[in-house]
Chains A and B, each alone.
Chain A
Amino acid sequence: MRAVQVLVDGFAISSLYGLAAVGFTLIFGVSGVLNLAHGGIMVVAAIVAWAAAGEYGLGTYAGALIGVAAGLITAYATYLVVVRPIQRSRAIRPEETEIFVLTGTLLWGIMIQVGMAYLFSDNPVTVRPLVAGVVNIFGVRTPTNKILIAVIAWAVIGLLWLLVNRTRTGKALLGASMNPRGITLLGYELTQLYLIAWTIYGILAGIAGVLLASFLGVGTNNTGQLTASAFSIVVLGGLGSVSGSLIAAYVVGYLETMTAYLIAPTLRPIPALILLVLVVYVRPQGLLGRR
């Protein structure tokens, strides 16, 4: 009974973690950017979806779409206002670009967090479930919404897989992540590929934000924690490896759920953190990382 509950709950939260982390790892793989404003983008999508659906009375579905659009716009802003100027700056030496992108996106994330708290409030918001009702799975009453979230998450990940592996653009993205110079020699415009990667990332982060808000509720105070969890899942799975991130998302999701159910809810994040430190010590490239 409890085992089933852990399985069901863990599956739902893990697929959300996976969805959020896949975009993060994609951006790193293609353009080498670790976006520490990640949580901020998810929070924008969640709060805008909530406001559009509730405050402005546009309904749950329209609200969710507007939320995803808001996430996409924020992702573009992150790239155009913060990341690209740093990458192109002549005053910053190439070997220091990475730390500047980290610091810059960190500051940008704080600006998003504080700005959203000012415009709305720092109370956590919960988007209304996309579907109502409960389903009985082996004696565990599960909200249909939870199942729908897992299904949407996997559908989006599946679409992403098709896009990357089965289309020309996707293959170009893959190429850019393996060898940026090689792909430019083949006549692809690197800037354009980066923009495409950020578009995909914005949509993924937006969907993850909206779904998370309808599952657990999201507040501006979660920004840092959301970034940290995506960051650790991605490092655990191996930076730049999409399938690694998905596996890591399930490891972390189930580890957290099991700790919360079987030991104590207060200890929820700790085993995952310890596992992360161990993996980073023993196998710095992560589970499926290249390098």
Chain B
Amino acid sequence: MSFFRSRLFWIAAVIVVIAALLPFWLSAYLLGILTAAYYFGVFAMAWDLLFGFAGEVNFGPTFLIGLGAYTAAILNANYGLPILVCVIAGAFSAVVGGILLAVPALRLRGPYFGLVTLVAVLLLQNCIVIFAGITGGEIGMTVPDVLSIDADVNYWYALAFLVLCAALLYGLSRSAVGLILQASGQDAVGAAALGFNVTKHKIAAFCVSALFSGTAGAMLIFYMGTASINTVIDVSIAVQIIIAAVLGGRRTILGAALGAVFLIVANEFLRPLGQLNTFVVSAVALAVILFFPDGLIGYALHRSERE
């Protein structure tokens, strides 16, 4: 196992180095797509921690992302606070939202909790439309500050952020805490009988997932320069995050990030298909679910374990 881990580490290191060098020969347009894809990867990994490990069916990852993004955007646009303060505030409000979601998660199971998360997204969306005065409503709001105007720098920010999040979340998932989470996700009673505090670990999982989602959401709007419902809150974004994580492989964390990058890049290359683009991507994802339910990375991992 330690041999495999070291091999995985080297593969990851090579991929990161190649990715870091990409700005030297890719156009600014492609870099822009990858930059968005990396933030998306963080969303998918944070979702995988909740679903793959804690076993919580969260249909509303965009509730947490949207809270982070809109808190940061409102503070920046209306009060002119610096970016760093806004991102921290966004992350904080997402964690508060995560705790709000964790409360029903401790009482409800499966589809019931899934519905609550879905309703949370719809309520947040409605609130933003109602308080259009400070949130910009359906049109969205423009953020005065941006991370950088240089495409290369933005790309490196996103890559560094992705790598940092991936390392932290992967480490967490392989630690004792990750195992306890997995145990309580699969058999809460069994885990509790072994003396683990299931409640504490689940709330912690929600906080961690919310922290990463919120920070990534806040960073994303400072990269794009705008915050709108269609980019950070809409249910279709949540669906894409779920597809990305399932496509890459649940319970793998890194698979979720790869799935997200694959999904966004595939979407871009299929753009000539026009409307049918989403159809093809959904069909591919459905085929993966039907034939390789462990996802692409999960399938590869299982095969190498069997050999």
The contact size tier of chain B is: 35 or more
The verdict on B112 contacting chain A, using a C-beta distance below 8 Å, is yes
**Inter-chain contact B279/A280, CB cutoff 8 Å:** no
The verdict on A114 contacting B278 (CB below 8 Å), with A95-B186, A99-B57, A102-B57 known, is yes
Which of B57, B116, B239, B279 is the one whose CB lies under 8 Å from A115?
B279
Where chain B touches its partner, the secondary structure class is helix
B110 at the interface (CB under 8 A from A): yes
Residues of A near B290 (CB, < 8 A) are 82, 85-86, 89, 104
Q: CB within 8 A of B107: which of A91, A232, A284?
A: A284
Which residues of chain A from 97 to 128 have a CB within 8 Å of any chain B CB? 98-100, 102-104, 106-108, 110-111, 114-115, 117-118
A110 to B120, CA, bound (A): 21
- Chain A hits for B115, CB < 8 A: 231-232, 235, 276, 280
Give the residue of A235, A269, A274 whose beta carbon is less than 8 angstroms from that of B111.
A235
Contact with A along B269-307 (1 / 0, CB 8 A): 000000110110011011001101110000000000000
Stretch in B23-31, B71-79, B123-131 with 4+ CB within 8 Å of A: B123-131
> Within the assembled complex, what's the spacing in Å between the Cα atoms of A280 and B119?
11
Residues of B within 8 Å of A110, CB to CB, are 239, 278-279, 282
On whether the beta carbons of B122 and A107 are closer than 8 Å, the reply is no
Cα of A232 to Cα of B118 in the assembled complex, Å: 10
> Roughly how many angstroms separate A239 CA and B282 CA in the complex, as a whole number?
28
- Per the bound structure, the CA–CA distance linking A117 and B116 in Å amounts to 29
Determine whether B242 belongs to the interface, using a CB cutoff of 8 Å to chain A: yes
| Residue A224 is within 8 A (CB to CB) of chain B in the complex | yes
Say yes or no: is A131 at the interface (Cβ < 8 Å to chain B): no
> Are B129 and A266 interface neighbours, CB within 8 A?
yes
Count contacts between A and B, CB distance < 8 Å: 100
A72 within 8 A of B: no
Cα of A89 to Cα of B291 in the assembled complex, Å = 9
A216 at the interface (CB under 8 A from B): no
With an 8 A cutoff between CB atoms, is B104 at the interface?
Answer: yes
* Assembly CA distance A124 to B286 (angstroms): 27
A96 neighbours in B (Cβ, 8 Å) = 293
Contact of B285 among A95, A107, A235 (CB under 8 A): A107
Question: Smallest CB-CB separation from A236: which chain B residue?
Answer: B115
Q: Are A232 and B286 in contact (CB under 8 A)?
A: no
Set of chain A residues within 8 Å of B276, measured between Cβ atoms: 114, 118
The yes or no answer to A77 lying at the interface (CB within 8 A) is no
Q: Which residues from chain B contact A95 at a C-beta distance below 8 Å?
A: 186
Interface string of B164-189 (1 = CB under 8 A from A): 00000000000000000000001000
Chain A residues lying within 8 Å of B116, measured Cβ to Cβ, are: 277, 280
Which residues of chain B come closer than 8 Å to A151, judged between CB atoms? none
B108 is an interface residue with CB less than 8 A from chain A = yes
Closest to A99 in B: B57
CA A45 to CA B186, docked complex, whole Å: 39
Instruction: Confirm or deny: B114 has a beta carbon within 8 angstroms of a beta carbon on chain A.
Output: yes
Are B289 and A98 in touch, CB under 8 angstroms? no
Q: 3 tightest A-B contacts by CB?
A: A114-B279, A107-B286, A110-B282
Contacts A/B (CB < 8 Å), 16 sampled: A86-B290, A92-B293, A96-B293, A107-B289, A108-B282, A110-B239, A110-B279, A111-B279, A111-B286, A114-B282, A118-B275, A228-B118, A232-B119, A273-B126, A277-B119, A284-B107
